[in-house]
Chain A
Amino acid sequence: MNGPNPPKMAAWLLDKLGYLQHNPALFGDLQEEFRSGRSKAWYWRQTAVVILTGIRANASEGLLREFAILFLVQALLDCLLWRVRGKVIMGNFDAPGFLGSLAVVGFFTVQLLRGKRIGGLDAGAAALLYVMASSTLWARYPPHEMSLTYRLWLDFLPLAFTFMVTSLPTPTSTAGLPGSHAG
């Protein structure tokens, strides 16, 4: 039977994050409900709940680490692009900010290479490292005129996000992905 298809991006996200393979019945349910007249917004809300439930249930397993890696790659790219843009557009390469961000990314990378689970304390330590590295370097190389608010948003928001994600409480049960063990 052919019917409307769920939002491609949401389905892609769930597939790439591994939920589709772990719990096909849930996706059958989502599709059944969607084809019975639910909106795309409903499907997106359901997707968000599935991902958040999965993150919470797998806080001690691999998925969280994958999220951390994804975040780090994104943060690194953001930092690089912003610094390069600063150099090209404003003619002033923000070396302290760039090196501070690089220190954070390097810290996380070492943690991941050592096979350590990144937790809230690690994120806090990385933030501290960033502040120390940047402050030390800013004293020597004053930053360009970009607003401090913008700088804080750009550099600290991803860190806060990491802290939030990695600090999610683990449920008392050892449940895996929602409904992952078919009987």
Chain B
Amino acid sequence: MPRAYLGEFELMVLLAVIRLGEDAYGVPISREIEQRSGREAALGSVYGALERLEEKGLVRSRLGERTPERGGRAKRFFRVTAQGVREVREAQRALTALWHCLPQLEGGTT
């Protein structure tokens, strides 16, 4: 199967899904990204990324129960697939290799 290249935001969403485990649906995924990265993650963008990840076979989704506080709408839970885990590891390996001994960043940020 060809590699599914991940964009930065897709990678963040995928990592949030892994961190949240069984509780991974739109709201906590968005909050997780906001808390960890300090950057606002709009729900529409999160769902857009999740949709792309699902098409690449990196996550799977299922519908939960309908709840009144959500206007009777069900939560949609996401779970990372084995291929998704492989892609995350590969992204980590590639980024670490690129980061390693980066002369410009040694001893400062300039």
Residues of chain A whose beta carbon lies under 8 Å from any beta carbon of chain B: 1, 3, 23-33, 35, 45-46, 49-54, 57, 171, 173-176, 178-183
Contact = CB atoms under 8 A, between A and B. Distances in A.
B62 to A, nearest CB: 5
Nearest to A173: B52
Contacts of A176: 51
Given A29-B70, A173-B55, A179 B63 contact: no
Contact of B43 (A33, A51, A173): A33
A34 B39 CA distance: 19
Contacts of B51: 57, 173, 175-176, 178-181
A32 B63 CA distance: 16
Interface of B: 25-27, 30, 42-45, 47-48, 50-52, 54-56, 60-63, 67-71, 73-76
A181 to B, nearest CB: 7
Contacts of A173: 51-52, 55-56
B26 A29 contact: yes
A29 B71 contact: no
B61 to A, nearest CB: 4
A79 B43 CA distance: 37
A49 B47 CA distance: 11
B75 A175 contact: no
B73 A25 contact: yes
A45 B76 contact: no
Contacts of B44: 26, 46, 49-54, 178
B84 to A, nearest CB: 14
24 contacts: A1-B69, A3-B69, A25-B26, A25-B74, A27-B73, A28-B73, A29-B27, A29-B30, A29-B43, A45-B42, A49-B43, A50-B44, A173-B55, A175-B52, A175-B55, A176-B51, A178-B47, A179-B26, A179-B51, A179-B76, A180-B51, A181-B51, A182-B61, A182-B76
